[in-house]
Amino acid sequence: MGVMEAIKKGFSVATKNLGLVLVLFVFNAIWNLVSIPFMPKPGETPTPQATGMAVIFSVLFILISIFVQGGALGTVKDYIKEGKAALGKFASYGLKYYLKLLVLGILIVLIIAVVGLVAALIVAATVPLNNAVVTVIAAIIAIALGAVGLYYILLLILSPYTLVCDDSGVFDAMKKSLRVVRKALGRIILLLVLLVLISLGIGFIVGFAAGLIAIALPVTVGQVIIGLVNSAFNGYLGIVLMASFMAIYLALSEKEKTAGQKVF
């Protein structure tokens, strides 16, 4: 499957599953509306209490979003594989994949944190030496380490799709993602870049229009309008992105399976 074909598939899946898009819209809208009271007004400094509540709500949002991600991934998988999807299975998929997706997310965050910490320590250890040459060398090593870390994080981009489509364990999903993405790295990067550009382009147009409307309204009403528009945008594009990556993963996985059968 080509990159453009995967993107077309993503838009097709999102357009034909507006019920699923609606679920994501409602989830995002609730979060956006609930967070409005904790957003500082123009010119105001947020209070410690407001900041603390915002942090709590952010953690809750992340934890609940994992459930939503699992439900959406399972539903999209059914549609791409079978040509139909039962929205009634959304909750069961969310529960089924919740713990695995949570562990996967924690592991990826830990990898990023460890790489970032080691890179920072390398640079920090050379500062007391007050030696420009040593500092430059340390900075180069830190940048190289960061690049390697970014490379492996990119290789893990298909891990959630492997986990759901193959119903595999967390480590098996990570290993398969490493293997599959490495063989089609150019296509995956191109797909990612194009989806980001599409999201930025559409997001700019939609955001600009919503902003113009919001300017003429009271601050709180304007925030509500922008929040609802962003929720609709993120709900639809979220399914487009999810379906695009899942479509290309399933194609690459099938190709790998076929190649393995030919060997034997």
The model carries a pTM of 0.81
Predicted pLDDT at 261? 54
CA atoms of 223 and 39, how far apart (whole Å) = 10
DSSP-derived letter for residue 221 is H
CA atoms of 205 and 262, how far apart (whole Å) = 49
CA atoms of 135 and 31, how far apart (whole Å) = 44
Tens-digit pLDDT profile for residues 154-213: 999 999 999 998 888 999 999 999 999 998 888 999 999 999 998 888 878 877 776 777
CA atoms of 223 and 132, how far apart (whole Å) = 49
Predicted pLDDT at 149? 86
CA atoms of 74 and 77, how far apart (whole Å) = 5
Write out the two tokens for 197.
Answer: 């550009």
Is residue 203 within 8 Å of 233, Cβ to Cβ? Answer: yes
- Residue among 112, 96, 88 nearest 168 (CA): 96
